[in-house]
Amino acid sequence: MAFYKLICVAAVLTLLSQESDSQLSQCGRAPLNSRIVGGQDAPPGSWPWQVSMNIFGTHICGGSLINNQWVLTGAHCISFPAFLLPGLTLTLGRQSQAGPNPNEVTRGLSGFIIHPNYNFRTNENDLAMLRLSAPVNFTNFIAPVCLAATNSSFHSGVDAWVTGWGNIQFEVPLLSPPNLTEVEVPVVGNRECDCDYRNIQNITENMMCAGLRAGGKGPCQGDGGGALVIKQGDRWIQAGITSFGVGCAQPNFPTVYTRVSQYEMWISSILTGNPPGFVTFTSDGTDGDLNFTCPPPTAPPTTSNTTAGPTPTAPPSGPVVCGQAPMNSRILGGSSVARAGEWPWMASLQKNGRHMCGGTLVAVDSVMSNANCFSGSPVASEWTVVLGRLRQNGSNPFEVSLSVTNITLSNQTGSNVAVLQLSARPTLSVYIQPICLDTGRSFPVSSRCWAAGWSSGRGGEEQVLQEFQTTVQACGNASAADSICTGEFTLEQGDSGGPLMCKQDGSWFQAAVLSAANGSARRKREDPVKVFDKVSRFQSFLVRTLGAFLSPPDVNATAAAATTNATATTGGAAAHSSSSLGLFLFVFAFCLQLFS
């Protein structure tokens, strides 16, 4: 915290220095830009304000040059541990992340200012300004962008462009060579966008949206902080800063951007000596979004045992895969409130309408939990499974309730698991997905894993689903084949049956079933360690009960498909645009070991 304060003080002090004249006469001009179609590599110099933010040499976010020494980006792009700041560099004039780039210039960071009202949970005011360690000279490959002035209007359907080096699909990185990519997308009005994100995220006046209704084009992880630009006359004007979204260019979920025109006064109050070029963008005609009304939610097919709720995406065609959570963007640790769809396999096991235990969807019609949740001889008809739930008290528009037809308990020495057969197959959506099961995977020490669950003592009045981040620890004398050990975190009875889950190769795997009673704690080097039986210990029972396990997507096949569809997608930044920030976690964990 002290280092953050020092950096911010240094940034404010540098504002008092003499700077050059206003950028208005120079901004938004890209003489080498003649592109008229998108979803492809951008020729060198096409977007001369594009900035690559790198941490220890790895690209993490985009940004835009707004004068000769300041870069505009997303606040989420700079929200990482302070001791990593010395490893941050900003590169301009870059075309390829693999090089060579004869026109590029790299600068360090001499200060930054995050908007004082930035809220990482609501994504409100997601913008920050970074000061380069030294000014840059403008060329055909390095030039500032104009910024949208306060009274700008962007009607629904206006064509805009977004650029970056992010993934080409969710969890699928740019293929070689990793060149700057561009794509054209239409503006989506805030009324329509708010309908798309209802019950997920409020779209405020400080935000704007852009994307195709059919999806397939738009930003993805790694493009966060980059510019959404629109051309007026011979100038390019930055309308938005890439902020968040659902997955990457998903149908009916346009990407959400910070609306730059809302912040002219704030930006100008800081850059008094060298203000950016603010230009008013005016859309023609009448904005169709003014008369837009939300259509009623689409309900999935119902049965007598199903509580209907909206399904924002159609069930995927082809075989069902496991471990996919397109709305999950969790980066940092601690105990916190989950959001809708982040853990789409979570199940609430209820008896007589009361939450008793957690569980996970592990097959198209089966849920796994802890056997301790079922005392005596379990009666299936007394139990109900709720999927897609976020709050135990309150509105849950995406949930589905199913009765239980059979409960089977494993019968092994020590802890045991239970499998609940559901009365029907739930309709899969971004809110309801199965998790992959561990079949003997290795979870290395220091790997980051998560647990989730409901308990009456947490989550406020609504008892919102809670999530806990932890790290894999050495198990000592415990069997490495049958046990997984983690740092200590609090478990209560309502958490039993929920998952300990770790992400590998782009998919989530359940490593263990939580048990408030049997997740024993012990001491090792004076650090609390929790010991769980691995799911793979119950593999024979689960195969007999479930049949063949679900498989994660074929990564190689996904990459090949991404190559085939390269003209329909672009590297970008959604769901907080941050999978590349996984490197932060690695460095963070490494440094913590050094200082422990």
Q: What one-letter code names the amino acid at 132?
A: L
CA angle 376, 382, 385 (to 5 degrees): 110
- Greater confidence, 33 or 227? 227
* Tokens coding 485: 């050990």
**Two tokens, residue 64:** 């835009």
The DSSP annotation for 512-574 comes to: EE--TTT-EEEEETTEEEEEEEBGGGGHHHHHHHH-SPPB---HHHHHHHHHHTGGG---B--
Same domain, 28 and 84: yes
Q: What are phi and psi of 194, to 5 degrees?
A: -65, -35
Claim to verify: residue 539 and residue 574 sit in the same structural domain: no
Quote the distance between the C-alpha of residue 109 and its chain's center. 25
On whether residue 324 sits in a domain, the answer given is no
Per-residue CA distances from 565 to 39, 252, 485, 557, 558 (Å): 9, 19, 42, 12, 10
The DSSP letter of residue 380 is: G
277: tokens are 């070029």
Lowest mean pLDDT among 109-113, 492-496, 521-525: 521-525
pLDDT category of residue 128 using cuts at 50, 70 and 90: very high
Residue 519 CB contacts under 8 Å (≥ 6 apart), including other chains: 491, 530, 531, 532
Within 13 A of 140's CA, how many CA atoms are on the CB side? 9
pLDDT higher than 70, residue 302 = no
Question: 539 with 567, same domain?
Answer: no
Query: Looking at the predicted structure, is the pLDDT value of residue 470 above 70?
Result: yes
15 or 341: which carries more pLDDT confidence? Answer: 341
pLDDT the model gives residue 455 = 80
- Same domain, yes or no: 409 and 499: yes
Phi-psi region of 252 (alpha: psi -120 to 50; beta: other; left: phi over 0): left
CA atoms 567, 571, 576, 581: torsion sign: positive
Asked if the model's pLDDT at residue 60 lies above 70, the reply is: yes
Residues 235 and 89 in one domain: yes
> What confidence category does residue 479 fall into, taking pLDDT thresholds of 50, 70 and 90?
low
In a domain, 153, yes or no: yes
* Predicted local confidence at residue 87, as pLDDT: 87
Over residues 423-436, mean pLDDT: 91
pLDDT at 29: 79
CA distance 491 to 483: 18
255: DSSP letter: E
pLDDT of residue 535: 94
Let me know whether 113 and 162 are in one domain: yes
How does pLDDT run across 211-244, given as a tens digit for each residue?
Answer: 998 887 888 778 889 999 999 998 999 999 999 8
- Contact between 105 and 56 under an 8 Å Cβ cutoff? The reply is no
pLDDT score, position 219: 85
pLDDT at 387: 96
Distance set, CA 369 to CA 205, 228, 361, 378, 542 (Å)? 43, 45, 9, 13, 12
Q: Are strands 417-422 and 436-437 parallel, antiparallel or unpaired?
A: unpaired
Cα of 492 vs its chain's centroid, Å: 28
Summary mean pLDDT of the chain:
79
Q: What is the DSSP string of 92-149?
A: ES--BSSS--TT-EEEEEEEEEE-TT-BTTTTBT--EEEEESS-----SSS-PPEEE-
Whether residue 577 sits in one domain with residue 503 = no
Q: What is the mean pLDDT of residues 355-378?
A: 91
More confident residue, 571 or 78: 78
Q: Are residues 86 and 148 in the same domain?
A: yes
Q: State the Cα angle at 37 between 281 and 254, rounded to 5°.
A: 60
According to the model, what pLDDT value does residue 17 have?
Answer: 35
- Please give the model's pTM, rounded to 2 decimal places: 0.54
For residues 207 and 359, give the distance between their C-alpha atoms in angstroms, rounded to a whole number. 36
Q: Tell me if 22 sits within 8 A of 183, measured CB to CB.
A: no
**Is residue 323 included in any domain, yes or no?**
no
In a domain, 191, yes or no: yes
Question: Which domain range does residue 466 map to?
Answer: 335-552
My answer on whether 485 and 577 are in the same domain is: no
pLDDT at site 385: 96
Q: Catalogue the E-assigned strands of 423-541.
A: 436-437, 448-453, 466-473, 483-487, 499-504, 507-513, 520-524, 527-533
| CA-to-CA dists, residue 272 to 28, 63, 109, 132, 136, angstroms | 20, 21, 20, 16, 18
- Give pLDDT, residue 70: 96
Task: Give pLDDT, residue 497.
Answer: 93
pLDDT > 50? residue 353: yes
Flag whether 294 is in a domain.
Answer: no
Number of separate domains in the chain: 2
Phi, then psi, of 6 in degrees rounded to 5: -60, -45
Q: How confident is the model at residue 7 (pLDDT cuts 50, 70, 90)?
A: very low
Q: Is residue 95's pLDDT more than 90?
A: no
- Check the CA dihedral 150-152-153-159 and report its sign: negative
Provide mean pLDDT across the span 91-95: 92
Question: Looking at the domain assignment, is residue 321 inside a domain?
Answer: no
Same domain, yes or no: 340 and 268: no
Say yes or no to pLDDT of 559 above 70.
no
Q: Do 48 and 129 belong to one domain? A: yes
Q: Is the pLDDT of residue 518 over 90?
A: no
Are 462 and 507 in contact, with CB atoms under 8 Å apart? no
The three state secondary structure string of 38-96 is CCEECCCCCCCCEEEEEECCEEEEEEEECCCCEEEECHHHCCCCHHHHHHEEEEECCCE
Rounded to whole angstroms, how far apart are CA atoms 311 and 298?
6
Instruction: Give yes or no: residues 73 and 207 share one domain.
Output: yes
Find residue 91's DSSP bridge partners. Answer: 52, 106
Q: Is residue 84 in some structural domain?
A: yes
Q: Where residue 411 falls among pLDDT bands split at 50, 70, 90?
A: confident
564 or 506, higher pLDDT: 506
Q: Considering the chain, what percentage of its residues have pLDDT values greater than 70?
A: 76
Q: How far apart are the first and last CA of the chain?
A: 18
- Go through the chain and tell me how many residues it has: 596
CATH number, domain containing residue 490: 2.40.10.10
Q: What is the mean pLDDT of residues 174-199?
A: 84
Measuring CA to CA, which residue among 27, 30, 32, 29 is closest to residue 43?
32
Pairing of strands 58-65, 227-232: unpaired
Q: What is the DSSP letter of 35?
A: -
The two structure tokens encoding residue 45: 């110099």
Q: Which of the 8 DSSP states describes residue 391?
A: B
Residues 265-294 have pLDDT tens digits of 999 999 988 889 999 999 988 888 888 888
Q: Give the separation between CA 57 and CA 84, rounded to whole angstroms.
A: 12
User: Is residue 492 situated within a structural domain?
Assistant: yes
Cα–Cα distance measured from residue 69 to residue 43, given in angstroms and rounded to the nearest whole number:
24
In the predicted structure, residue 264 carries a pLDDT above the cut 90: yes
pLDDT-derived band at 143, boundaries 50, 70, 90: very high
